[in-house]
Structure 1
Amino acid sequence: MSDVKRGPWTVHGESVSFDNPWLAVHEYPVTMPSGDPGRYGVVHFKNRAIGVLPLDEEGYTWIVGQHRFPFDAYSWELPEGGGPLDEEPEAAALRELEEETGLKAEKLTPIGSWQLSNSVTDEISFAYIATGLSSGEFAPDPTEVLEIKRLPFAELLDLVISGEITDAFTVLMVQTAYIRAQRGLLPPEISRHIVPG
């Protein structure tokens, strides 16, 4: 590989030091902006991050509890998962919602797409509010042991503000939904359940 410029960095090569079905770690020998030699590692994700905020006609939502291996801690989160790059994000959102909560949705309203950690990963996320909910089939992945809780959106917002919910993607979705509802940037039938009155 010939040298390639990436902004102020010069990349002299690329290798893969770890690879599994979900991610790969790419390593790059580089010349840093300072002119010094270095190595840069990037975690490449093979799926998009997909998140869903389900919202029913009573203003309730659902969160999912599970043990998270990297922190060896239990975490409450909105339904989230990976969407293969060849699957439309909306289809992945509907699938993840049903797998993790047993809920089907008639409608998805997009609320954002973000880079979740832009210094060491290339992970892109897509988030939706799901409405028109009905019963589907609960079918978690073999790697998941899930607990499901239904609660008012206002209570979820309190858990985010208090710091009891620490999952960054959940915090981002809840706060974005709340701010968009406050500013009239969501359909009224959704906003009235997020910001009553």
Structure 2
Amino acid sequence: MSVWRNLSEETVYENPWFRVNLADVELPDGRHLDHYVIRQRPVALATAVNERAEALLIWRHRFITDTWGWEMAAGVVEDGEDIADAAAREMEEETGWRPGPLRHLMTVEPSNGLSDVRHHLYWADKATHIGEPEDDFESARREWVPLKQVPDMIARGEIPAANMAAGLLLLHHLVK
């Protein structure tokens, strides 16, 4: 069996959102490898799907990759916060829509060769508009996007984030 063993870790950088550790990893053949590991808080994501099979998404720019794309509302889970509550809070703050009861869609590890972060995706089959988004700086616009268009949008690069693409493809499959 080919198992890499993490023998120890030392923190080399830390801030409120993540910690960078240097791990001493033993490879299956006994050699050792220094490996950087990013330890992060969980991330909660949410969308709602209306009766027309449209998902509520935000159109935003990611400066790190200098790309625009459609995404679900998302953010870190605060200490002691329930993950589903965090997903609902993020959706409300970023879209101005309060989701109905959330259902867990999936949990993914978007970069498990480098980070331990888990992204927890949720969806609701209804939402109530409560006003302008508190965090309107997070996106250029918010729209109800037909799920039937998701595969083509992914192919055109309009949904570049892998976690978003996976969740929206699953919703496309589930909601007919």
Letter aligned with residue 9 of structure 1: R
Aligned to 1:9: 5
Aligned to 2:125: 131
Provide the alpha-carbon RMSD of the alignment: 2.1
Per-residue CA deviation, residues 37-56 of structure 1 (Å, 9 max, x unaligned), is 3201111002x121213111
Matched, 1:19 2:30: no
Aligned to 1:99: 93
Alpha-carbon distance between aligned partners in 2 of 1:73 and 1:160, rounded to the nearest angstrom: 14
Q: Give the percent of matched residue pairs that are identical in Structure 1 and Structure 2.
A: 24
Per the normalisation by structure 1, the TM-score is 0.78
Aligned to 1:67: 61
- SS of residue matched to 1:177: helix
- SS of residue matched to 1:35: coil
Q: Unaligned 5+ residue runs, structure 1?
A: 1-6, 182-190
Written as runs of structure 1 = structure 2, the 5 A alignment for 1:40-189 is 40-46=35-41, 48-137=42-131, 138-140=133-135, 144-179=138-173, 181=174
1:18–1:75: structure 2 CA closer, same or farther, 3 Å change rule? Answer: farther
The number of aligned residues is 173
Q: Unaligned 5+ residue runs, structure 2?
A: none
Q: Which has the higher contact order (CA 8 A, sep 6+)?
A: 2
**Runs of 4+ with deviation above 4 angstroms:** none
TM-superposed deviation, 1:164: 2.8
Which structure: larger Rg?
A: 1
Residues 49, 82 of structure 1: 8 Å contact kept: yes
